[in-house]
Amino acid sequence: MNKNNARPFIKWVGGKTQLLKELQDRLPTPIIENGKIKRYIEPFIGGGAFFFFLKNNYNIKKAFIFDINPELIIAYRVVQRDHEKLVNALIEIEDYHLQKSESERKEHYYHIRKLYNQQMQKFDYDNYNLDWIERTKYLIFLNKTCYNGLYRQNLKGEFNVPFGRYKNPKVLDESNLIAVNKALQNTEIYCADFKLSEKYIEKENLVYLDPPYRPLSKTSNFTTYAKNGFLDEDQLRLADFFHKMNKRGAYLMLSNSDPKNIDNNDYFFDDAYRGYKIDRIPAKRNINSNILKRGEISELIITNY
């Protein structure tokens, strides 16, 4: 077992920190009993709460993580390869920000957001270079100082979350970045659609699927983590992928929203995953601009074992 305490270094919509016990309780019996995972695949890494939990508590020989959001994948690769340079960059931007008055912080925030969005137009997303460290610095800074710690893009792919008023925002968490760097060893990181993870999945591998949740209402923002969203046809494409990997003999676990919170006659996931184990568990919705709508709902955990 690894003596590490890594946790998400970016706040991400749909983070699984509050559901870790429920997910752990549903791990395959052989993994619980021997504490070892030969190969772990997570096709929608997001904030990575479950990945880090498993890395902290189980012996994972090899891991493969994916996400379609290039900004997120850049950050993971930078922490994996250059966390010390990133720490130095974050020290500098945090010190500069905290010395300012609130009105100056707000001005600084929007200046960084503008730089971040302008940088996107000519940024080399394909070849690792020092600009990736600066971009990750901007992403973490914006994530820690924006309203509600929310990552959201407009249709142009620009980060568009407003300034958040925090007394002493902690932009840099050095000890966690060191722990995350350790957790990312023996891990391959890819910017790709979930379908591309198929080539790495073998019998008895553990696969955790945490897609952007199907919106519970027309006004939900759950799918805006990437500019193209994740529609019902994508959810069904994922269900087909689940069926295919089930035939391959992999251990599959999937989480999603429960449509029955809104409509008791909505059998979207019950139909898509008919024949598998579907558990409805209580969870709190943390990110909602209307505080009255932040309450306990049920979510789905679906397994093929």
pLDDT at 222: 44
The beta-carbon contacts of 262-265 under 8 Å, at least 24 apart in sequence, are 262/216, 262/217
The pTM assigned to this predicted structure is 0.92
Tokens, residue 162: 């407003």
pLDDT at 291: 45
pLDDT at 283: 86
Q: What is the DSSP letter of 43?
A: S
Q: 253: how many CB neighbours lie within 10 A of its CB?
A: 20
pLDDT at 7: 97
For residue 280, list its beta bridge partners: 300
For strands 296-303 and 251-257, give the pairing: antiparallel
Assign 3-state DSSP to the chain and report helix, strand, coil percentages, each to 5.
Answer: 45, 15, 40
Give me the tens of pLDDT residue by residue for the chain, a chain 305 residues long: 456 899 999 998 878 888 999 999 999 999 999 999 999 999 999 999 999 999 999 999 999 999 999 999 999 999 999 999 999 999 999 999 999 999 999 999 999 999 999 999 999 999 999 999 999 999 999 999 999 888 888 888 899 999 998 989 999 999 999 999 999 999 999 999 999 999 999 999 999 999 999 998 765 544 444 555 799 999 999 999 999 999 999 999 999 999 999 999 999 999 999 999 999 999 876 545 454 455 678 999 999 99
Structural domains in the chain plus CATH codes:
17-68+192-217+228-303 (3.40.50.150), 80-175 (1.10.1020.10)
